[in-house]
Chains A and B, each alone.
Chain A
Amino acid sequence: DTGVSQNPRHKITKRGQNVTFRCDPISEHNRLYWYRQTLGQGPEFLTYFQNEAQLEKSRLLSDRFSAERPKGSFSTLEIQRTEQGDSAMYLCASSLPGLARPYNEQFFGPGTRLTVL
């Protein structure tokens, strides 16, 4: 168990380009979350998956954002037509579902830092 991994760690792109990030959760975790963290703020929830099903999306997730988890394992987050306001750290987390107990803690990856020029 190597924890949650995210790639790339850093991405610099020009405004208007598309970018895609990948998250590999802890292997037995079937819940996967995406958060966005801007400078000076705490992380904000974007979306989450239970297995391959995307169960909730934040209003922060505009139609330029799309997330997938095709086989219930890794997930990708794509941003189309990037804007300077998309510059942030994108964090992925995974957890077990709340079956044995109401809540299971989330384990975070190192994040992907996106800079849009």
Chain B
Amino acid sequence: AQSVTQPDIHITVSEGASLELRCNYSYGATPYLFWYVQSPGQGLQLLLKYFSGDTLVQGIKGFEAEFKRSQSSFNLRKPSVHWSDAAEYFCAVGLMEYGNKLVFGAGTILRVKS
């Protein structure tokens, strides 16, 4: 069955430090991969997506992610975290054969220390 695993429930980093959020997926076909961010009480905002091609994708707010097929991973990175990045981050895989529905991980809550 298709699934997404985000092994870290909480991560705390200092402002200005680098960030990496981990995501592993289980899916037999070509994955369409996404990272979304959710601030408290808000909906989901798309940070970046991977469909095909270059395995390093750039997104909004200075985020990037790297797709590694051999590791079934799609980790999110940012070189220097800002206090406004504190939020919950969700990795998701899109299932083309099921109407493009999204399967999400459980999320990683990012806290930023000043």
| Contact partner, B43, options A33, A103, A104, A110, Cβ 8 Å | A110
Closest to B94 in A: A103
Q: Chain B: interface secondary structure?
A: strand
B111 → chain A closest CB, angstroms: 15
Kindly supply a per-residue 1/0 record for chain B positions 93-114, scoring 1 wherever the CB is within 8 Å of any chain A CB and 0 otherwise: 0101011111111110000000
A106 contacts across to B, CB distance below 8 A: 100, 102
Known contacts: A42-B106, A42-B107, A103-B94. The answer to whether A108 contacts B44 by CB under 8 A is yes
Number of interface residues, chain B, beta carbon within 8 A:
26
In the complex, A35 Cα to B101 Cα: how many Å? 10
The A75-117 residues at the B interface (CB cut-off 8 A) are 91, 93, 95, 98, 101-111, 113
Query: 24 A-B Cβ contacts within 8 A?
Result: A4-B43, A31-B99, A33-B101, A33-B102, A40-B106, A42-B4, A43-B102, A45-B102, A55-B99, A91-B43, A91-B44, A95-B100, A102-B51, A102-B96, A103-B32, A103-B51, A103-B100, A106-B100, A107-B46, A108-B43, A108-B44, A109-B43, A110-B43, A111-B43
Additional A-B contact list (16), CB under 8 Å, known A42-B4, A43-B44? A31-B100, A33-B101, A33-B102, A35-B102, A41-B106, A41-B107, A48-B99, A98-B96, A98-B100, A102-B96, A103-B32, A103-B96, A104-B100, A106-B100, A110-B42, A111-B42
